[in-house]
Chains A and B, each alone.
Chain A
Amino acid sequence: MKLAFSNIVFDYVGHSADQSLRALNGVTGEVTSGDLLALIGPNGAGKSTLVRLLCGLDKPAAGTITVNGKPLAELDHKQRARMIAVVPQSLDSLPVVRVDDFVLGGRYAYLSAWGGPSGEDRAAVADALQACDCTGLESRLLTQLSGGQRQRVLIARALAQGAPVLLVDEPTNSLDPGHQLAIFELLDQLAKRGHAVLVVTHELNLASQYATSLVLLDEGRITCQGNAHEVLTPSALEPIYGRGLTYGSLKLEVNGKQRPFVLPWRSPDEDGEPQPDHQGRDALF
């Protein structure tokens, strides 16, 4: 399974020419089975726009998107949903439904207009809930869940969709560090089981630990891509995030290999002079 995008261009059209914005400008890449691709970049870089294009919500002004070589635009709605599942950043509103009924929504692409869910659909829901550690939540209302539980249920619904490609948009927003780790561990497991996972995230360190590759997007262009060692470097990140970052590396729990980390932490600069705000804070304490 391969989701590929090539030379994608997308414009947000405003009321006049000077209000229009080129959100993506010649973006090319792919995600295949077993990949956990982290799409990183500053706010407004075009990450979520790319996800919208990859799931067919918007159409690119130029460029091609293919699923296993077949143009995305040629798939009908249900075919597309059986190939690509989306875990949205948030829902427009939270429906008052039981968790199992909500996850069953992921089976829509397999249901006929007249028939109800089959045993296979029910089994897919149960499997998805189990895979996301949501067993026991089935009869709860979606509105009664915590942020972490809700995120897992959203991922479970995408799994129930049975799609080999998962597009996950900022899944750790407003979650505590424990839940952030748990969500990325889950995405890692899904990739290892053969899903092609593309995750949009601001969590550079989680991407460093779990992503098989990283793509850095800025102002609608890919400025750097590769593994964590290649992307999480001052030369790649400073032009985008500025100089207020501290770089280092730590061992992974799984195999003991080193991976880079990046902290939003202003350190003394290279010639040893503390930066003004750093000095100011020292003076306070």
Chain B
Amino acid sequence: MSRDRPFTSPYLLAAVLAVLLLGISMGSLELGSTSRIGLGETLHGLLAMLGLKEPLEGSLQTIAELRLYKLFTSIGVGAALALSGALFQGVFRNQLASPSIIGVTAGASLGASVMIIALSGSAGSFFLVERAAGLGPIAISVAAFVGAVLSTLLVTLFATTRGRISVPTLLLTGIAVNAIVGGAIAAIQRFSVEEADLMRALMTWTFGRLEDRSLYHVLTIWVGLGLTVSIIPRVSSELDLFSAGEEDAHNLGVNTARVKWLSLGAGALCASLAVAVAGQIAFVGLITPHILRTIVGPAHRRLLWLSLLGGPVLLCGADLAQRVALGHGALPPGVIMSLLGGPFFLLLLLRNRGQVEAW
């Protein structure tokens, strides 16, 4: 890949993305599943939550809060998925690596599903409504993280031979993990078909869900995101040096094992918490870093930060666009992102055909 034109300034792109995200956020707060309140009332509701104004009347305050929780969860999930994708792509030195392709989100999903079954009853309803009780939600988040970490370890160890990562093996391992998890989740669903609540919870998980979020969801994803963001300065220039190979980075003084496991751990944390609060939403982690890279270049000190804006713009933008187009018939976010991301992935494969063979 070579290019003649210079890359766009990252500050300019950050400004454009911030303005876009602001616009999309305002649109999302204006257009909810009900037309009973608009942007003004929702912002009033926000100030009321902060204790700066009187709450809205009756159920209107609840509607405003749900809309705000959804927006902040969506922004957090979009940022977490995009950052996770950028980290995985950096470590694996390949644009095709993303948490959903290599099976990390699937691992998180399986961990969460198993925990939902284990806690079924009280926790089964966690994913449907905001009234989660006790330690259930935390247990589900932890289980999602454990599932993500195990699948990350599995694909990384399978794809590594003498310190080198084979991308074809990585992608093939991802296919296997996705298939195993798909089968396991289908089996779990088959056995829970008698319990409608549980079945709905698991189905919702499979397609992703951004509606009916609670403060717990917002806090979970933002705390995870905060933890991950704190490692960016420790891995960004190091991941740039990874681009010529892990051994080359070692020779330049990079503690490659630390950078690799820190990045993979942070990527797994982000992806798993996104799954824990919003279910499986594929391709945000694949598409966002790729688009950003074509605009500002491959340097991770730009890419990782900009992913925090690019992911939410993509996820919230796609959600808002389809809500405007389809109204009440809007599709779950996981479905939308798969419909957008699948063709994009094929396009990427088509463009990189020669390189995938060579690697």
Report A's interface with B, CB cutoff 8 A.
55-57, 76-78, 80-82, 85-86, 88, 91-97, 105-106, 108-109, 111, 113-114, 141, 143-144, 161
| A64 to B93 alpha-carbon distance, docked (Å) | 34
- Whether the pair A108, B254 counts as a contact (CB closer than 8 A) is yes
CB of B95, distance to nearest CB on chain A (Å) = 12
| A113 to B253 alpha-carbon distance, docked (Å) | 13
CB of A121, distance to nearest CB on chain B (Å) = 12
User: Does B164 interact with chain A (Cβ within 8 Å)?
Assistant: yes
| A114 to B253 alpha-carbon distance, docked (Å) | 16
| A97 to B254 alpha-carbon distance, docked (Å) | 18
- Whether the pair A95, B298 counts as a contact (CB closer than 8 A) is yes
- Whether the pair A86, B244 counts as a contact (CB closer than 8 A) is no
Residue among A85, A88, A105, A114 with most chain B CB within 10 A: A105
User: Does B59 interact with chain A (Cβ within 8 Å)?
Assistant: no
- Whether the pair B247, A96 counts as a contact (CB closer than 8 A) is no
Interface residues of B, dominant DSSP: loop
Residues of A within 8 A of B234 (CB): 113
- Whether the pair A105, B252 counts as a contact (CB closer than 8 A) is yes
- Whether the pair B298, A97 counts as a contact (CB closer than 8 A) is yes
From B9-17, B33-41, B235-243, B331-339, give the one contacting chain A: B235-243
A-B contact pairs, 21 of them (CB 8 A): A55-B250, A55-B251, A56-B250, A77-B250, A78-B253, A81-B253, A91-B245, A92-B93, A92-B244, A92-B245, A92-B247, A93-B93, A95-B243, A96-B1, A96-B2, A96-B297, A108-B241, A108-B253, A108-B254, A114-B233, A143-B1
Residues of B within 8 A of A96 (CB): 1-3, 297-298
User: Does B195 interact with chain A (Cβ within 8 Å)?
Assistant: no
User: Does B62 interact with chain A (Cβ within 8 Å)?
Assistant: no
Residues of A within 8 A of B163 (CB): 57
| A95 to B244 alpha-carbon distance, docked (Å) | 6
- Whether the pair B251, A85 counts as a contact (CB closer than 8 A) is yes
CB of A117, distance to nearest CB on chain B (Å) = 10
Residue among B163, B164, B245, B359 with most chain A CB within 10 A: B245
| A142 to B280 alpha-carbon distance, docked (Å) | 39
User: Does B352 interact with chain A (Cβ within 8 Å)?
Assistant: no
- Whether the pair A111, B250 counts as a contact (CB closer than 8 A) is no
Please provide the 9 A-B residue pairs with the shortest distance between their CB atoms, ordered closest to farther: A81-B253, A92-B245, A109-B253, A95-B243, A86-B251, A91-B244, A78-B253, A77-B255, A108-B252
User: Does B54 interact with chain A (Cβ within 8 Å)?
Assistant: no
CB of B22, distance to nearest CB on chain A (Å) = 28
- Whether the pair A88, B251 counts as a contact (CB closer than 8 A) is yes
| A56 to B252 alpha-carbon distance, docked (Å) | 11
Residues of A within 8 A of B254 (CB): 77, 108
